[in-house]
Structure 1
Amino acid sequence: MSTSNRKTKVALLSICSNTVLIILKIMAGLLSGSVSIISEAIHSSMDLVASLVAFTAVRKSSKPADRDHPYGHGKIENLSGIVEGILIFIAAGLIVFEAVKKMFEPIEIEQAWVAIAVMTVAALVNFFVSKTIYKVAKEEDSMALEADALHLKTDVYTSLGVGIGILLIKLTDFMILDSIVAILVALLIVKEAWSLCYNALEYLMDIRLSDEEEQEIKGVIEKVKDKNAQQLIDYHKLKTRKSGNVRHIDFHITVDPSLTVKEAHDIVGCLKKELCDALKNTRVSVHIDPYNGQENNDELDDHETI
């Protein structure tokens, strides 16, 4: 199965599971009159929209580079992360509004055991679906799917929290617990939304790759340098960034000035192959500098581009 088909299938799984759970939660909320279950239905509705955003993002991001987008369409996934985060903020606001309103007008919970059963089923379904999506997200390095899995993982905790809250109401008759649980759900959702938006924005602003990945890149370059010690003098001005699931690596190398164009090109080809073998979904750009007898500074100058 191709990468794009695999990503699309798990995104569809999220859409289907969210649709079924929304229907169940709305029915349970209407039967019980519980604001915390209604808040969960709102949360799942936003999750459904987020799943649709993720589905669109993984389809669009898999399109090959074209004339207008020579670096590909990978950043659509990063943009979808921000959209999903904003949707979660909206869901949290709606939940708090409903919870505060019900706090002053508490309603007795009806059909409590049905409501608890629905929340338990929702938690179990989302646990297995989020686990599946997260596995594919990590294997395919997809931010859109990772964000979707995080939505569903949060839904596991919130569904369990609502179920436990209703159980406590049933045991204690303390009706305000329903609104308190709903507000706690909203706070957890806000934390998730902030994390999603922050990470997505960092990649849109071309933050460098992690220290671990850059150390791996340097290790590969050093290995090639050791194999070509007389020809490859050094490397410098390393820059990295990520667009969707594609890593972009740019750097300069200094070579023996007596090398032919073909010999220098072969060294560049070896570097690209080794880096692409070591890091999945990687594009490498290498600039060749002739050795002039001086040490090169590995730091980028203030306004310099490669």
Structure 2
Amino acid sequence: MSVATTKNRLGLLSLVVSVVLVLVKFYAFYLTRSQAVLTDALESIINVFTSGFALYSIYLASLPKDENHPYGHGKVEYLSIGFEGGLILFAGGYIFYSATKTLLHPHVVARPDSGLWLLAATAAVNLGVGFVLVRAGKRLHSVALVGDGQHLYIDALNTIVSCVALALVFFTNNVMYDTIAAYLLGLFITVNGYRMLRKSVAGLMDESDVKTIRSVIQELQQHRQPAWIDVHNLRVLRYGADLHIDCHVTLPYYFSLEEVHSEVHRIEEFIQTRFEVDTEMFVHADPCTFAACSHCHMPNCPVRQHPFSREIPWTVANTVKNERHQLAELE
């Protein structure tokens, strides 16, 4: 089974489960008239919309590159997360409004025991499906699946809080526990909605993937070759599951065009084999200068002007800058 087919099937599973559970939760609200249950049900409606959007975004992300999308369609998954976060923020606002109305005009919570059992069943299902989606999403490098699975985790947590509220109402006959739970759930999902929006904006604005940058630098440093004098202007971008990497590499200026091509191709192939996802890498070659001699240990260099003194380790601090490491001051 292909990766795209697996993603689509998991997205469809999430959508079907979300539809069934939202119906169960609204039936629980019909039985109990509980604000906490209504909060949980409203949050689950978002699951339906976001699961559908996530399924569509997964389909789009699987499409091949074309002339209008030279880097592929993977970024639509970040749009999916942003859509989900926006809906969560909207639901959070409505939850605060509804809970405030109940606080001002309290009403009896009916049949809390029946609602408790129904919600407990939905929480168990959400935890199970959420675990499957998050695990598969990390394995398949799909931010849409991971986001959808994490939302199901949050939905399950909301449901557990609602269950606790119903249990307290059942044993104490105090409806204030129901209102307090609604406020707490509203605050929690609002904060989570903001975080999802933040992640979406970061992905759409090409925020640096520092973790992946560190992995690339570590691989280059561990397998560093004498001809690779310097690496700088390193950039790593994510397009859904795919990676786009480009950098500048300083090579001996006396290398022939064929030798430069060979070293560049060597670096590109080396990095591409180190990641499980599709990785596109472009390397720009810069010629060395005599200022680099003291940091270059190229053996039998025919044009060396200074003896080798020390190697400059490659780090995040010096590889992402668009300048050759400490050479500008020496030239």
Same fold (TM over 0.5): yes
Other-structure match for 1:292: 289
Query: In the alignment, which of 228, 231, 234 is matched to residue 232 of structure 1?
Result: 228
Bigger shift: residues 90-99 or 155-164? 90-99
1:34-80 Cα deviation digits (max 9, x unpaired): 12112211110011111111111111011111101111111111111
> Does the aligned pair in 2 maintain the 1:29–1:38 contact within 8 Å?
yes
Q: Which runs of 5+ in 1 are unaligned?
A: 302-306
1:70-119 Cα deviation digits (max 9, x unpaired): 11111111111111100101111122222211222222222222100011
1:144 aligned counterpart, secondary structure: helix
Bigger shift: residues 174-183 or 159-168? 174-183
Q: Which runs of 5+ in 2 are unaligned?
A: 296-317, 324-331
User: Letter of the aligned partner of 1:220 in structure 2?
Assistant: E
> Does the aligned pair in 2 maintain the 1:58–1:77 contact within 8 Å?
yes
User: Letter of the aligned partner of 2:236 in structure 1?
Assistant: T
User: Letter of the aligned partner of 1:216 in structure 2?
Assistant: S
User: Letter of the aligned partner of 1:70 in structure 2?
Assistant: P
d(CA) in 2 for partners of 1:66, 1:204:
19
> Does the aligned pair in 1 maintain the 2:131–2:149 contact within 8 Å?
yes
d(CA) in 2 for partners of 1:223, 1:284:
18
Q: CA deviation at 1:280?
A: 2.8
Matches within 5 A, 1:76-95: 76-95=76-95
Query: In the alignment, which of 228, 252, 258 is matched to residue 256 of structure 1?
Result: 252
Q: CA deviation at 1:223?
A: 4.1
d(CA) in 2 for partners of 1:19, 1:44:
8
2:174 aligned counterpart, secondary structure: coil
1:71 aligned counterpart, secondary structure: coil
User: Letter of the aligned partner of 2:31 in structure 1?
Assistant: L
User: Letter of the aligned partner of 2:89 in structure 1?
Assistant: F
Matches within 5 A, 1:134-213: 134-210=134-210, 212-213=211-212
Count of residues paired in the alignment = 297
> Does the aligned pair in 1 maintain the 2:25–2:37 contact within 8 Å?
yes
Matches within 5 A, 1:36-115: 36-115=36-115
Other-structure match for 2:301: none
> Does the aligned pair in 2 maintain the 1:224–1:270 contact within 8 Å?
no
User: Letter of the aligned partner of 1:79 in structure 2?
Assistant: L
d(CA) in 2 for partners of 1:109, 1:237:
62
Q: CA deviation at 1:185?
A: 0.8
d(CA) in 1 for partners of 2:189, 2:218:
40
Other-structure match for 2:270: 274
d(CA) in 1 for partners of 2:104, 2:222:
68
User: Letter of the aligned partner of 1:254 in structure 2?
Assistant: T
1:9 aligned counterpart, secondary structure: helix
> Does the aligned pair in 2 maintain the 1:248–1:284 contact within 8 Å?
yes
Q: CA deviation at 1:224?
A: 4.3
d(CA) in 1 for partners of 2:223, 2:266:
7
Query: In the alignment, which of 270, 277, 280 is matched to residue 283 of structure 1?
Result: 280
Q: CA deviation at 1:219?
A: 2.5
> Does the aligned pair in 1 maintain the 2:212–2:236 contact within 8 Å?
no
Q: What TM-score results when the alignment is normalised by the length of structure 1?
A: 0.92
1:123-175 Cα deviation digits (max 9, x unpaired): 10000000000001111111111211121111111101001101101111111
Percentage identity across paired residues of the two chains: 27
Q: What TM-score results when the alignment is normalised by the length of structure 2?
A: 0.85
> Does the aligned pair in 2 maintain the 1:207–1:242 contact within 8 Å?
no
Q: CA deviation at 1:262?
A: 2.6
1:294 aligned counterpart, secondary structure: helix
Other-structure match for 1:304: none
Other-structure match for 2:314: none
1:166-189 Cα deviation digits (max 9, x unpaired): 110111111122121111111110
Runs of 4 or more, structure 1, over 4 Å off, are none
1:232 aligned counterpart, secondary structure: coil
Q: CA deviation at 1:258?
A: 3.1
User: Letter of the aligned partner of 1:221 in structure 2?
Assistant: L
2:290 aligned counterpart, secondary structure: coil
d(CA) in 1 for partners of 2:265, 2:275:
15
> Does the aligned pair in 2 maintain the 1:224–1:271 contact within 8 Å?
no
